[in-house]
Amino acid sequence: MNAVGARLYQIWPSEKTRKFQRRLLAWYSSNRRLLPWRESPTPYRVWVSEVMLQQTQAATVLPFYHRFLQRYPDVRSLAAASEADVLARWAGLGYYNRARNLRRAAVMVMEKFGGEIPNARDQLLTLPGVGRYIAGALLSIAFSRPEAVVDGNVRRVISRLHCLKGVVPESFFWRQAQAWVPQDRPADFNQAVMELGAIICAPSSPDCPRCPVAVLCGARARGLQGEIPRARIGRTTERVRLVVLVLVRGGRVLLTRKREATYIPGEWGLPLRALGTRASPGRVARELAMEFCEELPPLERLPTVQHGITHHRITAHVRKAVLSGRPRVRSAGRWFPVSDLPRLLVSSLFRKAAASADLVRRPRRTR
C-alpha cells in the first residue's frame, strides 16, 4: 500500500471514536424510527427483518413483515411450512431466494440447534442465506455482542466520514465498523449507523446540516457537502476449479457435510474437491471417489458446470457413478433419497450438477 492509501485507510483513533459514539447514540435516542423489530428484538424477529431488508427499504418491508410474522410467529412454524406457502406469503417482496433460504435455515435450526437460533458466529454462518452481515446484525442486535455490521448505508457513512474516493478495499469498511462498535451498546450503535445512512447521509442530497456527526466528517471538512464522494468497493474475482461427484446407489445420492469450498452455502452438498492449476479433473475425481468406495467405480463424465458465488467464478467438472452393494462411507457422508435433493441442496452449483446427472430439474435464474 502506498503512502496515500495508508493515510486514507487508517482506522479512527480511540478519542475520535468515542466522540463519534456519544454524538451518534444521543441523536439515535431522540430520532430513531419506530420499527416493529426494534420494539421486540428477539433473535427470530431480527433475523426475519434483516433478511427482508436486504436490498429493500424499510417502508416497503413493513406490511410484509407484519403479515409474515402473523403467519409464522416463530422458527417452528416457519420450518413446518411448505416452500410454496412461504413463497406465497413473500409474493411482491421480490428476491425470492431470500424466502427459500430463510425457510431452509429454519428447518436447519429445528433439526440441528433444537429450535434455538444459535448465538455463535460459526454456527450462524452455516445457515442458508446467512452471511457476514446478517450474522453481525443478529449477534449485535439480538444478542448484544460487539459485532460489526456493514451494509450499503454503513459503507456510505464510512466513505464520507473518511472522504474516500475511488476503489476501497472491502476489508477496510469492516475494520472501521468493528473499531467503532462500543462494548456496552452494540445493538443501538449498529442501528444508529444504519439509521444515519438511511435518513441523513442518504445516497443523494444528504442532509448535512442536520447530521449529528458533521464536525467529524472528512468530506465536509474539504468543502464537499454538495458533492459527497462515493467509494466503490474494491473486489477481486477468484476463478476456481472444482471436481464434483454424483454418487448414486439404489435411488439414493451421497451427500456430505465436508466442504473444502466454505463459500458454498448449505449444510449438505455433493462431494467435491478443489483443483490445482494443472491438476487433472479425472485423476482428482478418482481419488475423491476412493474416499467413499472400496473399489473404484466407472466414472461418467458429465457436462462442465459454470457458476458464480459472491466473488468466485467456478468451473465444476462433474463426474457420476452408479454404485451397487454397500460402498464404504465416512462419517461425513450420508445417503439421501433423490426426492430430498431439492430440499437439501441449497446451492445452485450443486443443483446444476445434480441436474446434469438427470436427478433434479435445472434451477431457474432468479432476479
Which string of DSSP letters, residue by residue, matches 189-205?
HHHHHHHHHHHTS-SSS
- Residue 270 phi/psi, 5-degree rounding, is -75, 150
Region of residue 130 (left: phi > 0; alpha: psi -120 to 50; beta: else) = beta
Q: Are 188 and 28 in contact (CB under 8 A)?
A: yes
Q: Spell out the per-residue pLDDT of the chain, length 367, in tens.
A: 444 444 567 899 999 999 999 999 999 999 999 999 998 899 999 999 999 998 888 999 999 999 999 999 999 999 999 988 898 888 888 777 899 999 999 999 999 999 999 999 889 999 999 999 999 999 999 999 999 999 989 999 999 999 887 778 888 999 999 999 999 999 999 999 999 999 999 888 889 999 999 999 998 888 765 444 454 555 567 788 999 999 999 899 999 886 667 677 767 889 998 887 778 999 999 988 888 887 788 999 999 999 887 677 889 999 999 987 665 665 568 899 999 998 888 788 899 999 999 888 765 543 3
Which triple of cell numbers denotes residue 217? Answer: 466528517
Q: What is the pLDDT of residue 227?
A: 47
CA distance 99 to 261: 24
39, 50, 83, 295: the catalytic one is 50
Q: What is the pLDDT of residue 296?
A: 84
SS3 159: helix
Tell me the H-state helices in the chain.
3-8, 14-31, 36-39, 43-53, 58-71, 75-80, 83-90, 97-113, 121-124, 132-137, 152-161, 170-180, 186-199, 218-221, 281-289, 341-344, 348-356
Positive or negative, the CA dihedral 328, 331, 332, 334 is positive
pLDDT tens-digit map of 68-82 = 999 999 999 999 999
Q: Are 270 and 354 in contact (CB under 8 A)?
A: yes
- Residue 342 phi/psi, 5-degree rounding, is -60, -30
Q: What is the pLDDT of residue 1?
A: 45
Q: What is the pLDDT of residue 309?
A: 72
pLDDT tens-digit map of 146-170 = 999 999 899 999 999 998 877 788 8
Q: Are 349 and 308 in contact (CB under 8 A)?
A: no
Beta bridge partners of 313: 239, 308
Tell me the CB-side half-sphere exposure of residue 208, using CA atoms within 13 A: 18
CA distance 5 to 243: 39
Give, as one character, the DSSP assignment of residue 290.
T
Residue that has been written with the C-alpha cell 439480538 in this structure: 142
Q: What is the pLDDT of residue 233?
A: 53
Region of residue 163 (left: phi > 0; alpha: psi -120 to 50; beta: else) = left
> DSSP labels for 91-123?
TTS--THHHHHHHHHHHHHHHHHTTPPP-SHHH
CA distance 353 to 191: 40
Q: What is the pLDDT of residue 165?
A: 78
CA distance 170 to 177: 11
Is 50 designated active site?
yes
Q: Are 66 and 40 in contact (CB under 8 A)?
A: no
CA distance 367 to 153: 22
Q: Are 281 and 317 in contact (CB under 8 A)?
A: yes
Domains and CATH numbers, the chain: 3-160+169-199 (1.10.340.30), 238-356 (3.90.79.10)
Q: What is the pLDDT of residue 326?
A: 66
CA dihedral 292, 295, 300, 305 (to 10 degrees): 20
> Closest Cα to residue 350, out of 316, 321, 324, 326?
316
Q: Is the pTM of this model over 0.85?
A: no
Positive or negative, the CA dihedral 251, 257, 260, 266 is positive
